[in-house]
Amino acid sequence: MTQQLILYPLLLQLLLAILLMFFWKRIGAQRVISILGSIVHLGVSIGVFAYIWNNGTQTVQAGSWEAPFGITFIADTFAITMVLLTSIAGLAVSIFSAGSVISDRLRFGYFPIFHFLLLGLTGAFLTGDIFNLYVWFEIIIISSFVLITIGGEKAQLEGAVKYFTLNFLASMIFLTAIAVLYGLTGSLNMADLANKVAAVENRALVEITAILFLIGFGIKSAVFPLYFWLPASYHTPPSAVSAIFGGLLTKVGVYALIRVFTLIFVEDVFLDQILLVLAIFTLFSGALGALVQNNIRKVFSYLIICHIGYMIIGLGMFTEVAIAGAIFYLVHDILVKTNLFMVSGLIYRIKGSNSLRALGGFYAQYPKLSLLMFIPLFSLVGIPPLSGFWPKISLITASFDTGSYWSLAAIIFASFITLVVIAKLWAEVFWKDAQEIPVKPKFRYYHKIKKIKRIQIIVPIVFLSMVTLYVGFGAEHIQTLAARIASELIDNQLYIDAVLNTQISE
């Protein structure tokens, strides 16, 4: 049974979703199952992570069909790290949802769909088959459509339409790219594709396919110029939903980009140049967008776009140091972005507003909470020794090594603007004198809700802040991890051998 170890996070998530469907009407039971299940899931993920760390890449051939024909599941260090991060963020958001999402929304199957979303994410990280990756993407977007529209407010539906249209377009482009790739090589297994694509003589068509993948994943990960759906939709659903979207949904696009462009389409100078240019524009446009916003969640949405640029720029430079930087940034970003949207949810719960102008006096009224919120906010900026600082060193070193000074300028510019944005946010929300905010009669303010709910809102923020602090202060460990992932990604022969030479379990 240990050969199947890497499937356990996947299967557990599916089991949870099915179990929660049996309790469709009983929200109280759903809360308990979701939280307990997420804790177990975190334990399982840590166990599998430790196993992969000690024993190297593991594969499972689903249905015992041999590698190029059947669907392969593969957990290398990169994939299992992403699974682990998913389950950390999943646990935090599960607890946060139990406390902050109102039961009118929970009644429409919030928790089952939430776990289907996590199932899709886990599957996308673990699969070694490009068509299967498409299927997991579909599970992710279908679940996310439900989560983004649940509650059915007018603004929510408006955001959902934009979100739906663009993501659907991305899926079509992705599917077209798979079809062309299959026509070229006759294979869908990613390791097999890596061998076959290198041997294709029609390089122009390979290049076009690569561009199609870039556009498809680019829309999903909100890269310039395809990002505009993100700030239009992420501020509309409940903040628990925004948290999981902001933390993980764009990152699965980044994961797919990194996977495809380190495994299948490699050593292509033209593509690397495109990635670099896109990343630089993403950094600029995201940072400038964040400067002018007034809604806290819109500020964070633009910062998501901006910081996607850091990961793409690392991929574009394509050196081991740069990719290690991108991976480190990915780890840091998932934790911090998830946390920030929960912070915005907490602010909204306390004050009933998310507008920078209307808020104020937070530090005077809630000094302890303010200090707690200080951690994710300034980790995002990357004040040393907090977590955002370390990956930027790798990225800056790499841009010196490769001599791409535009990237260097963009990285420094975006860091500086992030600092300005967060400093402005800190000044407006925490230091400015308290403003008069009209009291909403029916709104369930923080001081009105039960103590257990308050704990459920605070605990996940504390939990993720602690993990973020660990990433900052234990940067050495994360750097070791990122370096190992980067070396595995650059030397993709390891991945190919792991898939194609495995013995089927008898």
Partner 1 sequence: MSTLILRTASNYLLPVLLVFSIFILLRGHYLPGGGFVGGLIAAIAFVLHAFANGLDDTKNLLRFHPGFLMPVGLALAFFSGLSPIFVDQAFMTGLWFPEPFPVIGNVGSALFFDIGVYLVVIGVTLTIIFTISESA
CB closer to partner 1, 109 vs 325: 109
Q: Is 305 exposed, middle or buried (0-12, 13-18, 19+ CB in 10 A)?
A: buried
CB of 383 to partner 1, least distance (A): 45
Token pair for 212: 């199609």
CB closer to partner 1, 109 vs 253: 109
Residues written for the chain: 506
Give dist(CA 437, CA 62) in Å, integer.
57
CB of 244 to partner 1, least distance (A): 22
CB closer to partner 1, 47 vs 225: 47
CB closer to partner 1, 23 vs 463: 23
Q: Are 468 and 387 in contact (CB under 8 A)?
A: yes
CB of 61 to partner 1, least distance (A): 6
Q: Which of 328, 320, 314 is closest to 396 using CA atoms?
A: 314
CB closer to partner 1, 69 vs 443: 69
Q: Which of 40, 16, 17 is closest to 113 using CA atoms?
A: 17
Give dist(CA 109, CA 115) in Å, integer.
10
Q: Are 415 and 380 in contact (CB under 8 A)?
A: no
Give dist(CA 390, CA 127) in Å, integer.
30
CB closer to partner 1, 61 vs 344: 61
Q: Rounded to 10 degrees, what is the CA torsion of 258, 259, 265, 267?
A: 60
Q: What are phi and psi of 214, to 5 degrees?
A: -60, -40
Give dist(CA 287, CA 304) in Å, integer.
9
Residue 272 CA neighbour count, 13 Å, CB half: 16
CB of 20 to partner 1, least distance (A): 8
CB closer to partner 1, 11 vs 292: 11
CB of 29 to partner 1, least distance (A): 13
- Name every residue whose Cβ is closer than 8 Å to that of residue 327 and which is 6 or more positions away in sequence: 78, 81, 258, 314, 481, 482, 485, 486
Q: Are 428 and 295 in contact (CB under 8 A)?
A: no
Residues that bind partner 1 (CB under 8 A): 1, 3-4, 7, 11, 14-15, 17-19, 21-22, 24, 60-64, 504-505
Q: Which of 305, 324, 319, 208 is closest to 265 using CA atoms?
A: 208
Chain mean position to CA 356:
25
In this structure, how many other beta carbons lie within 10 angstroms of the beta carbon of residue 144? 26
CB closer to partner 1, 7 vs 346: 7
State in Å, rounded, how far the first CA of the chain is from the last one.
11
Q: Which of 382, 384, 413 is closest to 399 using CA atoms?
A: 413
Q: Is 131 exposed, middle or buried (0-12, 13-18, 19+ CB in 10 A)?
A: middle
Residue 248 identity: L
CB closer to partner 1, 57 vs 402: 57
Identify the residue whose tokens are 């935090």: 92
CB of 333 to partner 1, least distance (A): 32
CB closer to partner 1, 145 vs 463: 145
CB of 334 to partner 1, least distance (A): 27
CB of 59 to partner 1, least distance (A): 10
CB closer to partner 1, 60 vs 89: 60
CB of 3 to partner 1, least distance (A): 8
CB of 65 to partner 1, least distance (A): 9
DSSP label at residue 72: E
CB closer to partner 1, 11 vs 46: 11
CB of 19 to partner 1, least distance (A): 8
CB closer to partner 1, 2 vs 202: 2
CB of 329 to partner 1, least distance (A): 33
Q: What are phi and psi of 381, to 5 degrees?
A: -65, -35
CB of 505 to partner 1, least distance (A): 6
